[in-house]
A and B are shown apart, each in its own frame.
Chain A
Amino acid sequence: MSFNLDLLLAGTYHDWLIQGLRLSLGMAGITLLLALPLAVMVAMFRLSPVRALQWLGAMFVESIRNVPLLAHMLFWYFGAPELLPDGIKRWLYAGNIEVLSAIAALTLYTAAYMAEDIRSGIRSISNGQFEAGRSLGFSFLATMRLIILPQALRVTIPPLVSQTLNLWKNTSIATVIGVGELMYQAAKVESTAFRSAEAFAFATICYLSVSLILTGLGLLYRHRFPVRTA
């Protein structure tokens, strides 16, 4: 069986794959928007002077990072929504519960990793800076916002770009809960038309191009804004 490029350029299979690509990109985008603020919050918790908050932050990060994303997906699709009251459940299930569950799982998973990157970025700023801020009369949050975070950003952006790349790759796992993303559509083409080479080639090229663009952006940023050493 020869490689049939036309299959990818037009027709039903082409439409399926493009639809999958769109959904994958959309999920990654929405997850990123949701995960970033959550990650900043968790990082703040972990660095805050309040013991209970530190503990809460650590719990969040450890409980999420030590379980595979696939298990998160299964849990958030088959398990968690069942605990909701009937009315809400019915309303949720009438919509696109597959995509919602996938975004919930991806957001928590990505936020746990990003929180750690943000935390180590902040910790890389010398403690003296923080103490100086506090002794000048700034509150904990104000010191963070005005003195530490702007500097930490430079250190933190490259690992956050990497996490975005991981997020992009991780969207593929949503296939197990029936989300019609790129991997799901590629598998559908494979099983409907027995065209594995074409479908997988298309999906691989899509995953790879986005990944390489992200990698390139990360490297560019590092080149443009190198970490200043004291």
Chain B
Amino acid sequence: MSRTRFICIMILFATFFTPLTYADQLADIKKKGEIIVGVLGTDEPNSFIDPATRKIVGYDVDLSEAIAKKLGVKLTLKQLSVAARIPELEQGRIDLLAASLTHNKEREAKIDFSLTTLVTGQRVMVRKDSGITSVPQLAGKKVLTVKGGTQEPNIRKAVPTADVITFETSLQAFIGLQQGKGMGYVNDEVSLFNNYGKLGDAQKDYIILPQNLSIEPLALGIRKGEAGLKKEVDDALRVLEKSGEAEKLFFKWYGPNSKVKLDKRTFKIDSDKVDG
């Protein structure tokens, strides 16, 4: 190997690791003509794979599409793990996060949030034959949930002695519950109802405990300080709310004809404030 070739390789490596500087993200998105939105793809009905078309669909996806349309750019979805959502956004690998993301105070230090797009409780599903009927009974029991979300801290807060086991995706935790590998399965209410709906005949063997571990306002995540983008996103959401389109989307994914079977919408997309 010649010395020049060695140097070439070194330069190649150096460029690979050199930071890029970028301008205003909104301008960037418009210039590219593309907005990259991070979704989970593993959390029905917020975002999941439709086997027939092999495309990711869901409430989060429909919202993203509406925003891309408002900006007049092409929508590109990028699938992420739950734990990678905030790092991916912070590091600018995605422009927007539409990934069943809870808006809370702790996260406000890291990223900004759009208007709240969905309000859901967080609850626990158990097998009927476990005899568990309330959250405190999970003390000392194995509880399954997804890694890197708010579910784990919430259940720890509610039942400090629970043995919490986490997986890469929430549905793996759900399978764990079905197989009997844990006593409870924690998730957002909408996802729990959906999962319950998928059980079919087996529904009679499961119950969703009535207590809420917490109320979770879900929102889209935006990189810290990107005021331009936030305004466009919020405007797009306000338009959806005003035109009644947002309500339609809600009932499409969470309404009586979906697996979630909610019959009313208790919130409006109009605020980006959360308590505590």
Question: A residues bordering B, Cβ < 8 Å?
Answer: 78, 81-82, 89-90, 93, 97-98, 176-178, 180, 184, 187-188, 190-192, 194, 196
Can you give 13 A-B contacts (C-beta < 8 A)?
A78-B172, A78-B175, A78-B176, A78-B179, A82-B179, A89-B180, A93-B179, A178-B166, A178-B176, A187-B83, A188-B147, A190-B83, A192-B153
Question: A93 to B127, alpha carbons, bound, how many Å?
Answer: 14
* Complex interface: chain A residues within 8 A of B86 (CB): 194
A93–B147 contact, CB under 8 A? no
Cβ of B110 under 8 Å from chain A: yes
Q: Mark B175-208, 1 if CB is under 8 A from A, else 0.
A: 1100111000000000000000000000000000
Give, as a whole number of angstroms, the nearest-CB distance from A122 to chain B: 40
* Complex interface: chain B residues within 8 A of A78 (CB): 172, 175-176, 179
Given pairs A93-B180, A178-B176, A191-B83, 16 additional interface contacts (CB within 8 A)? A90-B180, A97-B181, A98-B165, A98-B181, A176-B168, A177-B167, A178-B144, A178-B165, A178-B166, A184-B166, A187-B148, A188-B166, A190-B83, A191-B147, A191-B148, A194-B110
Give, as a whole number of angstroms, the nearest-CB distance from A88 to chain B: 12
Give, as a whole number of angstroms, the nearest-CB distance from B91 to chain A: 12
Chain B interfacial residues counted at CB < 8 A:
19
Question: A128 to B87, alpha carbons, bound, how many Å?
Answer: 62
* Complex interface: chain B residues within 8 A of A97 (CB): 181
Question: A161 to B165, alpha carbons, bound, how many Å?
Answer: 32
Question: A190 to B81, alpha carbons, bound, how many Å?
Answer: 14
Q: Mark B159-179, 1 if CB is under 8 A from A, else 0.
A: 000000111100010011001
Question: B residues bordering A, Cβ < 8 Å?
Answer: 83, 86-87, 110, 144, 147-148, 152-153, 165-168, 172, 175-176, 179-181
A-B contact count (CB 8 A): 40
B147–A187 contact, CB under 8 A? yes
* Complex interface: chain B residues within 8 A of A184 (CB): 166
* Complex interface: chain A residues within 8 A of B147 (CB): 187-188, 191
* Complex interface: chain A residues within 8 A of B179 (CB): 78, 81-82, 93
* Complex interface: chain A residues within 8 A of B153 (CB): 192
Across the interface, name the chain A residue whose C-beta is closest to B179.
A82
Question: A196 to B87, alpha carbons, bound, how many Å?
Answer: 10
Across the interface, name the chain A residue whose C-beta is closest to B148.
A191
Question: A90 to B168, alpha carbons, bound, how many Å?
Answer: 24
Question: A180 to B181, alpha carbons, bound, how many Å?
Answer: 15
Q: Which 9 A-B residue pairings sit nearest by Cβ, starting from the closest?
A: A178-B165, A191-B148, A93-B180, A93-B181, A191-B83, A178-B167, A97-B181, A178-B166, A82-B179
Across the interface, name the chain A residue whose C-beta is closest to B165.
A178
Across the interface, name the chain B residue whose C-beta is closest to A176.
B168
Give, as a whole number of angstroms, the nearest-CB distance from A100 to chain B: 11
* Complex interface: chain A residues within 8 A of B83 (CB): 187, 190-191
Across the interface, name the chain B residue whose C-beta is closest to A86.
B180
Give, as a whole number of angstroms, the nearest-CB distance from B202 to chain A: 15
* Complex interface: chain B residues within 8 A of A81 (CB): 179
Across the interface, name the chain A residue whose C-beta is closest to B178.
A82
* Complex interface: chain A residues within 8 A of B176 (CB): 78, 178
Give, as a whole number of angstroms, the nearest-CB distance from A31 to chain B: 20
Question: A184 to B87, alpha carbons, bound, how many Å?
Answer: 17
* Complex interface: chain B residues within 8 A of A176 (CB): 167-168
* Complex interface: chain B residues within 8 A of A82 (CB): 179
Give, as a whole number of angstroms, the nearest-CB distance from B107 to chain A: 9
Across the interface, name the chain A residue whose C-beta is closest to B84.
A191
* Complex interface: chain B residues within 8 A of A190 (CB): 83
Q: Which of B83, B110, B168, B180 has the most CB of A within 10 A?
A: B180
* Complex interface: chain A residues within 8 A of B175 (CB): 78
Give, as a whole number of angstroms, the nearest-CB distance from A171 to chain B: 17
* Complex interface: chain B residues within 8 A of A187 (CB): 83, 147-148
Question: A82 to B178, alpha carbons, bound, how many Å?
Answer: 11
Across the interface, name the chain A residue whose C-beta is closest to B107.
A194
Question: A190 to B148, alpha carbons, bound, how many Å?
Answer: 9
